[in-house]
Structure 1
Amino acid sequence: MKLLAICIGQAERLPGKSYKTGIYKTPVNGPVLIDQLGLVGDVVCNKKHHGGPDQAILLEGSLTLAWWAAELGRDLPPGTFGENLVIEGLDNRDVAVGDRFHLGEIVLEATSPRAPCNTLAARMEDPKFSRTFLKAGRPGIYCRVITPGSLQIGDMVRHEFYADERVPVSELLNSAGRKVSDAERNRFLSVPIGIRWRERFQLAPN
């Protein structure tokens, strides 16, 4: 595997909306620095739902983006889904919470799925896209930064599978909007999920 794209966004206003968003990402050549909060120079506007140490980086696999392009019948340039990194040969469905990605000196750890939202639907110019996204079961992967550093396009990537309980990121997204069983909750809390999801399961009624 190797790194195909690095994408950084600035605050821009969505057509017909009053707020600004950082979802519009533009590919850059690098090298680019990554710190504990993500790509240096990338902008996060909605900090209630995005950003923070457990959602520092959003990555997509090239196989997943190719599937989406075929499904939607159009090209999807790097950054279309607001992703920061595109990894060659990766299918998002193969990623579980706790999996790590090694890019030279950098180590990223998968924490949670990218959930659909109104901003993504507006970006895709499809008010029903959130439903389409959920049904597809191929969410982008949020990662925390274990080891910061510098990266550039073409860097080799090694996918290290989490050694303990395997909870696919797509399974975590599938739990959204429904009541989970005690067994599911305990299973999800046994892996290094992001803080937003952890709080949701910890606060969920028994």
Structure 2
Amino acid sequence: MNLLSVNLARPLHAPSYTDAPGNLTGIDKRPVSGPVEVAAPGPKGTGGSGLAQDTIGDMRHHGGDDQAVYAFAREDLDDWAHELGRDLSNGSFGENLTTRGLDVNGARIGERWLVGSRVVLEVSAVRIPCRTFASWLDERGWVKRFTDRALPGAYLRVIEPGPVSGGDGIRIVHRPDHEVTVSFLFRALTREPDLLPHVLAAGDALHPEARCKALRRGAG
């Protein structure tokens, strides 16, 4: 398991990216050479990306400690590239980390990864597709297609900060004993809300917004 690339935003101003205030978006991420510092950015709404020199356009919905880093598997990019009939470079889905050999969507909420020799990241949440993502890919019915696949990639918290670089190894150093995976949580938050009460098994590692939805569903 390894990190193929670290990807940082090239900020864009574009009228079609309507989710971001002022139409600023950091979805156009490109691989960079050399180490990039990773650290907890602060609470959502005030803290942006967990990667130094990255850009978050819409901090109301993105960024912050519980969504500090976004990871997507190269294998899933390859599957989409084949289906869409187009090249998808590392960073094409707006991910900070493009991985190889790691089951990102099978990771459990609260699972921890050691990246390189120092950085520890914790799986915390899932990426919900938005209009910005759809506009960026420019594929008909993209939000529905991405949602139906239920392989959204993982948001991560920064537990131990430090530098990461393309080529770093990734090792799973903690795997919780519940069964709430990234894909399961995504299904619960989108197409299968009856699953929501079950995601509470992830405990304190669950993103606060997902916990609130699950509690409301259980109470209802």
Distance 1:181 1:15 in 2: 37
Query: Do 2:127 and 2:153's aligned partners in 1 also have CA atoms closer than 8 Å?
Result: yes
Q: Would you say 1:102 and 2:106 are equivalent positions?
A: no
Equivalent of 1:184 in 194, 198, 205: 198
Q: How does 1:127-142 map to 2 (within 5 A)?
A: 127-142=140-155
Structure 1 residues 183 and 194: alpha-carbon distance in aligned structure 2, compared to 1, 3 A threshold: closer
Query: Do 1:97 and 1:191's aligned partners in 2 also have CA atoms closer than 8 Å?
Result: no
Q: Would you say 1:117 and 2:139 are equivalent positions?
A: no
How far does residue 167 in structure 1 lie from its aligned partner after superposition? Answer: 0.5
Query: Do 2:114 and 2:120's aligned partners in 1 also have CA atoms closer than 8 Å?
Result: yes
SS of residue in 2 equivalent to 1:16: coil
Q: Would you say 1:175 and 2:188 are equivalent positions?
A: yes
How far does residue 4 in structure 1 lie from its aligned partner after superposition? Answer: 0.5
Distance 1:128 1:174 in 2: 18
What percentage of aligned pairs have identical amino acids?
34
- Partner in structure 2 of residue 42 of structure 1: 54
Query: Do 1:64 and 1:90's aligned partners in 2 also have CA atoms closer than 8 Å?
Result: no
Structure 1 residues 47 and 127: alpha-carbon distance in aligned structure 2, compared to 1, 3 A threshold: farther
Structure 1 residues 87 and 182: alpha-carbon distance in aligned structure 2, compared to 1, 3 A threshold: closer
**Any gaps of 5 or more consecutive residues in structure 2?**
42-49
| Superposition RMSD in Å | 1.9
Distance 2:57 2:122 in 1: 23
**Any gaps of 5 or more consecutive residues in structure 1?**
none
AA in 2 matched with 1:89 = G
- Partner in structure 1 of residue 211 of structure 2: 198
- Partner in structure 1 of residue 45 of structure 2: none
Structure 1 residues 182 and 135: alpha-carbon distance in aligned structure 2, compared to 1, 3 A threshold: closer
Deviations 1:86-118 (A, max 9, x none): 111123332121111111200000011111111
TM-score when normalising by structure 2: 0.85
- Partner in structure 2 of residue 14 of structure 1: 14
Structure 1 residues 145 and 17: alpha-carbon distance in aligned structure 2, compared to 1, 3 A threshold: closer
Distance 1:148 1:57 in 2: 12
Equivalent of 2:77 in 65, 72, 87: 65
Distance 2:17 2:129 in 1: 17
Aligned length: 205
- Partner in structure 2 of residue 33 of structure 1: 37
SS of residue in 2 equivalent to 1:94: coil
- Partner in structure 1 of residue 95 of structure 2: 83
Distance 1:52 1:79 in 2: 20
Q: How does 1:139-150 map to 2 (within 5 A)?
A: 139-150=152-163
Of 65-74 and 144-153, deviating more is: 65-74
Deviations 1:33-65 (A, max 9, x none): 001021011111111111000000000112111
Distance 1:46 1:183 in 2: 29
TM-score when normalising by structure 1: 0.91
Distance 1:135 1:67 in 2: 14
Query: Do 2:188 and 2:195's aligned partners in 1 also have CA atoms closer than 8 Å?
Result: no
